Amino acid sequence: MSAAVSLPRHLPVITNSELRTFRRCAREHRLRYRLRRRPLRDADTLRFGSLFHVGLEAWWRADAAPEARIAAALAAIEGLRDVDPYDRVDAEELILGYTARWGDGAPVVVGVEAQFVAPLVNPQTGAASKTYQLGGKLDVLFAYGFMEHKTTSEDIGLGGDYWQRVSALDSQVSMYTVGARALGVEGPCTYDVIRKVALRPKRATPVESRKYKTNGELYANKREHDETPDEYRERVREHIAENPERYYARGEIVRLDHDEAEHAADVWQTARAMREAELAERYPRNPDACMRFGRACEYFGVCSGQASIDDDTKFRTATSSHEELEEIRT
């Protein structure tokens, strides 16, 4: 399957990420998608997700033999620059564990990073929007169903909060179900979740805190040197091998008729609100969304008057609203 899909007509595309951003904060949406100003550096946690995603993409594109998959994934990760060496270890070891867990019997792949566009449909009339259309990229497309990869720090055990949230409400699964259908594929979303490595590299004990035994050796919980990436790798490998179910989980996520109807109504209404904001040129800030996961929003400085969105040392202008979607005019 080709990666890009030609458009029936050139309507602006809205993606699930864009809708999610607008739901979170109309002002952030304007800065990120209308002005296309993006922070120069992604947050650390996002960087690991992107890094691992690159490896997984190569893994799924490779021949089905586990050795070929591992080689492709590790080469893809190797090719990335400016990666924290410990993040690189985490990603590489997670790829090896992933192959051990899922390498055998992986379904036949129809497409990787399969791009879709689909009409945004008014759920009341069934008519397609003349203002926007939906778009996105499916991580892996099978003959029956598709797959989305996720990395998380949450507990991914069966029946846990993570799965409850995804099960019926996750908007990405709902939109991508529509997207897969637009590519001619029915079927469920296999949610392929990889838990981030919770271990951290051991750091050298500050000199003033070091305690020595009478024979001159350091006490067991004290260190003279930082743990090297290779030493850290040994610990990570062992931990993943001992706890595969902690690190890897898959679930078949389905959308029932009423889920799809609810999602269609949600998307339509959000798109209308986006359009109204554009026409009125009003993008209200949502102060309740400034702090998430213990971090400030990347545009916090701009909204609070401490930085300028025009500052090229902090922000760049993206080439399009959705750089990840090639060949779609956005």
Binding site for other proteins (CB under 8 A): 124-127, 157-160, 163-164, 167-168, 186, 188, 245, 251-258
Nearer to other proteins, 181 or 239 (CB): 181
Instruction: Closer to other proteins by CB, 21 or 172: give it.
Output: 172
Q: Are 197 and 244 in contact (CB under 8 A)?
A: no
- The least distance separating other proteins from the CB of residue 165, rounded to whole angstroms, comes to 11
Cβ-based nearer residue to other proteins, 131 or 286: 131
The dihedral sign for the CA sequence 321, 264, 136, 328: negative
Residue 73 CB-density burial (10 A; 0-12 exposed, 13-18 middle, 19+ buried):
buried
Whichever of 126 and 206 has its CB closer to other proteins, that residue is 126
Considering the complex, what minimum distance in angstroms separates the CB of residue 190 from other proteins? 11
Between strands 13-14 and 128-142, the pairing is: parallel
Closest contact distance (angstroms) between CB of 132 and other proteins is 18
CB of 189 to other proteins, least distance (A): 11
| Residues 183/6, Cβ–Cβ less than 8 Å | no
CA distances from 311 to 52, 95, 193, 256 (A): 30, 38, 37, 46
- Which residues on neighbouring strands pair with residue 136, listed in sequence order? 116
Nearer to other proteins, 66 or 251 (CB): 251
What one-letter code names the amino acid at 54? V
CB of 238 to other proteins, least distance (A): 21
Residue 10: what are its φ and ψ, rounded to 5°? -90, 80
38 vs 250, which CB is nearer to other proteins? 250
Least spacing, CB of residue 321 vs other proteins, in Å: 29
In angstroms, give the least distance from the CB of 108 to other proteins. Answer: 17
Closest CA to 71 of 100, 95, 47: 95
What is the biggest distance separating any 2 CA atoms in the chain, rounded to whole angstroms?
83
- Name the residue type at position 168: A
Q: Cα–Cα distance between 305 and 314 in angstroms, integer?
A: 14
Q: Residue 261 CB, nearest distance to other proteins (Å)? A: 12
Q: How far is the CB of 244 from other proteins (least distance, A)?
A: 12
Q: Is the dihedral of CA 205, 211, 217, 221 positive or negative?
A: negative
Nearer to other proteins, 266 or 278 (CB): 266
Nearest-angstrom CA–CA distance, 197 and 59 = 19
Determine the distance from the C-alpha atom of residue 159 to the mean position of all C-alpha atoms in its chain, rounded to a whole number: 22
Nearer to other proteins, 125 or 209 (CB): 125
Residue where the block lists tokens 């979303």: 189
By beta-carbon proximity to other proteins, the closer residue of 130 and 292 is 130
212 secondary structure, DSSP code: B
Hey, which residues does 250 pair with through a beta bridge? Answer: 192
